[in-house]
Structure 1
Amino acid sequence: MKIVVTSDTHNQNLPQKLISECESADLIIHAGDWSSMEVYRTLSSCAKVVGVHGNVDDNEIKEYLAPRDIIQIEGYKIGIVHGHGSKQMTEKRALEAFEGEGMDIIIFGHSHIPMMRYVNKVMLMNPGSPTDKRRMPYYSYGILHIDKTLRAEIVFFTG
C-alpha cells in the first residue's frame, strides 16, 4: 500500500509533482492547513483522502474534518494532527495529542519543516509543505509504503 502524506498546502495550486504522486496512491493523508475545500476535492480525485483541519482552515473545512484523527492500516495505528497550539514545540504537541494511545506513527504539520524520526518506538513524520517551503531549501511531501513492513520517505523537490 502506498500512502502519500502532505500538509500545509495553503492554496489550491498543488504542484504537478504532488498530483502525479497522488494519482498512484492508495491513500492520501493531509495533516491540515488546506486553506480551501478545493484542495480536498482535487486530492480526492486522485485517491481516498483522510485528514484533519489546521489553524488557518476555514469553517467549511473545520465542519468537515476533525482536529485529530486515528486510522488503522495493515495493523499500524496512525495518528494525524496538525500540531498547532501554544507552548512547546510542534513535535511535542503532536506527541501529546496521542499520549497513551499506542500509536505506531504520528503525522503532523504546522511548522513546514520536514522531518522523520522515532521517539520511543513511535515514528514521527512531518511531510513539510509542497507549496510553502518558507526557509527550507525545498518543497516536500512524504510517502509511507506499508506491506509486510513499513517504509517511509520524504520527497524533496524544487517546484
Structure 2
Amino acid sequence: MKIAILSDTHAKKHSDKLFELIDNLYVESDMIIHAGDYISNSVVSKLKEHKNFVGVWGNNDKGSIRNLLKEKIILTIEGYKIGLYHGHGNSKTTLNTAYDKFSADKVDIIIFGHSHQPLVLTKNKILMINPGSPSCKRRELWYSYVILEIQNKKISVQLKLFK
C-alpha cells in the first residue's frame, strides 16, 4: 500500500499546480490522506474525485468542509492503526497536541499537520508524521508531502521536498 500524505494546502483561487500534484499522486499512489486546512471546497472535491481519499478538517476549514469531514479519524491499514488529526490546539506544541489526541487509542502512527513543518520521528514507539505543505510553505524553504509505504509489515516513509 502506497499512501500520499498531504496537509495545509490552504488553496486559494488558483489551484492548478496543486490539482496537478493531486492527479500525479493518484497515479503513483493507492490512497491520499489529507490532514486538514484545505481552505477551499474545490480541494476537497478534487480529492473526492478519486476513490481512495481520507481526510479530516483543520482549524482554518469552515462550514461545508467541516460538514463533509471529521475532526479525528482512526484507520487500520495493513494491520497498522493510524490516527489522523490536524494538530490544532491551544496549550501545547503541535506534535504534543496530536500525540495527546490519541493517548487512549493505542495507535501505531499519527498523521497530523497544522505547523507547515515537515516531520518524521517516533515518540514513545508511535511514528509521528507531519507532511508539511505542498502549496503553503510559510517559513519553510521547501514545499513538501510524504509518501508512506506499508508492505509485508514493513514501513517506509519518504519526505518529498520541492521548490
TM range (shorter): over 0.9
Partner of 2:100: 96
1:122 Cα deviation (Å)?
0.4
Question: What letter matches 1:75 in structure 2?
Answer: G
Partner of 1:24: 28
1:28 Cα deviation (Å)?
0.6
Counterpart mapping for 1:48-127 below 5 A: 48-127=52-131
1:19 Cα deviation (Å)?
3.2
1:17 Cα deviation (Å)?
3.8
Gaps of 5+ in 2: none
Name the SS of the counterpart of 1:123 in structure 2. Answer: strand
TM-score by length of 1: 0.94
Name the SS of the counterpart of 2:117 in structure 1. Answer: coil
Partner of 1:33: 37
> Is the CA contact 2:75–2:81 (under 8 Å) kept in the aligned structure 1?
yes
> Is the CA contact 1:15–1:130 (under 8 Å) kept in the aligned structure 2?
no
Q: How many pairs are equivalent?
A: 158
Distance 1:38 1:65, change over 3 A: same
Write the distance in 1 (CA, Å) between the matches of 2:69 and 2:123. 27
Q: Which whole-Å deviations, capped at 9, do the CAs of 1:104-157 have from their partners, x for residues lacking one?
A: 100000000000000111000000000000111100001110111111111001
Partner of 1:146: 150
> Is the CA contact 1:5–1:141 (under 8 Å) kept in the aligned structure 2?
yes
CA RMSD in angstroms, aligned pairs only: 1.3
Write the distance in 1 (CA, Å) between the matches of 2:149 and 2:35. 18
Partner of 2:162: 157
> Is the CA contact 1:106–1:122 (under 8 Å) kept in the aligned structure 2?
yes
Gaps of 5+ in 1: none
Write the distance in 1 (CA, Å) between the matches of 2:59 and 2:68. 14
1:42 Cα deviation (Å)?
1.3
Write the distance in 1 (CA, Å) between the matches of 2:47 and 2:31. 10
1:18 Cα deviation (Å)?
4.5
